[in-house]
Structures are given as structure tokens and as C-alpha cells.
A and B are shown apart, each in its own frame.
Chain A
């Protein structure tokens, strides 16, 4: 770390940031710094300032040393080396050497795990959504930290509310891989607003797996179209979280002569205009299913357009379509699209 100390704001600055970050996560920690890793570990365990003043317990639990009347590491270091090696083993000697920096101690870089699963007990049973959100934010911050360390993002997280006798699961999907705490919190808030907590929540659990690589994006110099796409995706995501699944969709055409099959719901944006072949006149509003006409009079204007197909998938249509004008009723004077099948008349759409 020595090389980056100035960038990190000096040792004091770095330690302050570390402490505040840990406080945000809700952890208590004792922090120590030393020239070697093992010395730092012992100093943190013993909460001391100097290596010599640390109690023996941080280095070894050997009862022999205690019976010899030794209390601190300083006293241990004063003993002759061969005697110590013979009585307590070479390992203790090696550990002391590593702490002093005489022996090297290469350590492996800590690799953050590839999935996240953490549970947080709530201090008292929480009955409202805001309380759950407040506690949930802590877990979300932890997840975000892990993802940052791995330079990754997630598209799906599961938030479980552990209640006395049951468990409520909230699944949140994101339109794009993300590790943004604000985005996590915003969507969780939307989802929580639609969940009714019948029983108070005792603990919460956050699970996330399937990390996908996500690198930092440097901001474009000129307001970019990609930011717009990102905003659009996030808007749709936010609407869907509150309104429910299936409430947002895009439209696409399909090459089928049967009007009800000539279109389908898709994810917004999925349509290839090259696939579209213009049919005859079609109404802007379609009634699904077609409305049976019982006692209304229509004036037939254009037609018939015979549509006969679908014998291959069991939904055969043999219809004569007409453009008509309603003679009476609520839509008197409007242009409608009606058809005759067998001997029934149906209204399939209205030309708005």
C-alpha cells in the first residue's frame, strides 16, 4: 500500500475512510497498520501500539509460555532462539520472524466470492415497509461493494423477508447489469410499496448470483445516445416494478393473414420493419376477442375481404371482413371493422 498512500490521502485519511465505510456496513472492526502483514494482524488482535507490548495470546496459545512467566511478545523475543525452537517448535520462531519482517510471508490477494448471500437480523420486529427498506439498504450497500470489487453487475436479486412463520420473497429484475446502490434501493422501494406485510419481519436476506462483468463507463464528452437508452431502459424498469409484470410491452407485426395473429406483444424495441407487408385497410384499435354483434345496424361500405387461413394450427378463420359505419348507438357515425363468420357477425376493430 505504501506506493498508493498519497493517492489515498495519507495513512490517516485512508484509515478514516475505512472506518466510516465499515460503520456504514454496520461492522465493528479494530484497525491496525504495520510493516508486515502478520504484525498488523497481531496488532489488530491485541489492539496495541507496539509489537513488544502485545500479550502473548495473539501469537500463540501455548500454555508452556505462560507457565514460564512470559506475558508480552517483547519478553518472548528476548529469549534465546534455539531454546525456544526446541521447546515450542520452529513454527513459533518462524511466525516471530515473519512478524519482524525477517522471513517473507507472501500472501494471496483476497478474491471476493462470486455470489452474495447475507442475512441481517432486524433489531425489533419491523411492521412497515420503510423500516425494511432502511435495513435492506445496508445489505444492498454490501452487495454493491462486492460487485465493485469484482468489477461486475447483476441483473437479478432476491430479497427475502423472514417472518415468524413464513417468508416473503421479492424478486427484482434489472433491464441491464448494474451495481448501483441507488438503483437497487429505488426498485426495492417500488416493490415493497406493493407488498402487504401481514406479519412483522424479523430478518432479511439478500441473495444474488450470476455476476456479469461490468466495467466503469467513462462519461461521454457530448450528451450521448447511450445515456438516453440507459434512461429509457431504467424508466421502463421502474414502471414495471410498480405496475407489475406484463404491463409494459412493445408491438410487432407478424406475417399472418388472421388479424388477431398479425401482431404480438414484444419487449419494447423489438420490431424489424423489413418484415412488414402492408395488408388491406386495418383499424387502429383491435378488439380482443372480437365483439359479437347482436342488435345493432351497420351500413356496409367496403368489402368483402375474405380471410381464410389457419387450418394448420387448429384456429381456422373463414371470415368476410367489411368496413362499416354504425347507424345508431354510442358509436353512430364511426367506422368499424366487422366480419361475418359462419352466420355470426362480429366487430373486430374501430377505425380511430
Chain B
């Protein structure tokens, strides 16, 4: 046998033993999660605005708020830097990453205006965002009779904002000026890409985008480090449609608990190649 085959065989067949009790405990948790997901599946599917959009093609806008609270020391600058590097190479992709502040001397929250490629028509209104505290958003959504939909995990939930309430939401966001914008980013994902719509309380986040061989952008928003897992909802877009995800990373000015909020707005847009 060649040495290479020898070592390959060693790695392939390395023996691993597991604790039978832990095996069972993990399997029980897996089964529980499975049963729970089966029970919430029907409700979640009914309220999945993305599915409705994809099927009806009538609704021109879908906005979903995605908020994640992450530890202040874990702002994903590395992740976003990688994201920018990769996106820069994707010539057909609209993207913009605007670093407003880095670490210190935070300016007051300011308007973020999107730079849209002329070939892309945004079907939504509004280009000005502000940031907010999660509880304020929750109160606001309650007032608007918009309910959070439970996610797969206990502390995961998401809300879909009907198109007739987007303007109201944006007014609300603009009125929240107590927070400071750290970073904003725009990402365009083409048909077949995945995007996450969820609220997740975790300790870390990574946003990555990979351009595949068909020049399409594979977007991956993965929350990690808090071991709370992540939830990705697959969005299938038809030809001529794309998903623009605008995100703002914010942090509180003098927050005792030093939490950071990430807000992403996925929107369905039409584009021309």
C-alpha cells in the first residue's frame, strides 16, 4: 500500500467512541425539535409572506425585520470584510458596504442612502433607516397588530411586515434616534439564494457571501457562538426577480449591557442583466 493510501485509510477509519447516555440525550433533543417543528410548521407556512410573494407575483414588496443582538466585542468586522471582498468580484451584483464608523467616535445616527445600480429597479419605497431597541420594535409591532412568528428555537422569532405598513415602520425607525449606526450594507442575492428571516438572540454573527460558478451570489447569514443555532428560510425567486437585503448594524450609545442590533430588510426587486 502506498503511504498516501495508508494515511488516507488511517484518517477514514479512525475509531471514535461516544458516550451512549449522551447519544440518547442528544437523540431525544433532536426528536423533540423535530416534533416541535412539525407542530409549528402549518402555522408558519401559512404566514410565510415570502411564499406568498413568490407565488402571487402581485405583492411588490416584502420586508422582514431581522434583529440579532450580539455581544459588542463580536461585531463581525472580519465577516463583513470578507463579504465586501467577495462581493467586489461579483460584477453583476449590486452591493454597497458603507462603513460609517469604526470602533470609536461614533457620530449620531444618520441617513443611509442606497446607491442603486441603474439596471436595478427597487420596488420598495424608502431609503432612510434608523435603529432601535428590540423592545421598542416589539411594542411598535404589537401596536400595529403585527405578531412575531415563533422560530424553531425558543429565542428565535421573526416578523413579516405587510407592504401597507412599511411606510409606518420606516417612520418609526426614523424617529428612533438614540442609537448609532456602525455599519450598513446592501447585498443582492439572485434566484435560488437563501436568506434568513429571523430574530435570534446570540452572542456572535457571521455574514458571508460566496459567488458561485454561475456568477450568482450565495448569501449565508450564520449566527454562532451562542450555540443557539440559526434558521434559514429558503427563498426561491423567479427569473428577473432578485432579493435585495439591506442591513444596518447598530449599537447603543451608552448601553450597560452593550448589545448590538442588526437589522436586515429583505426586499424583492426586479433586475435586468
Whether chain B is bound by chain A comes out as: no
Query: Which residues of chain B have a CB within 8 Å of any CB of chain A?
Result: none
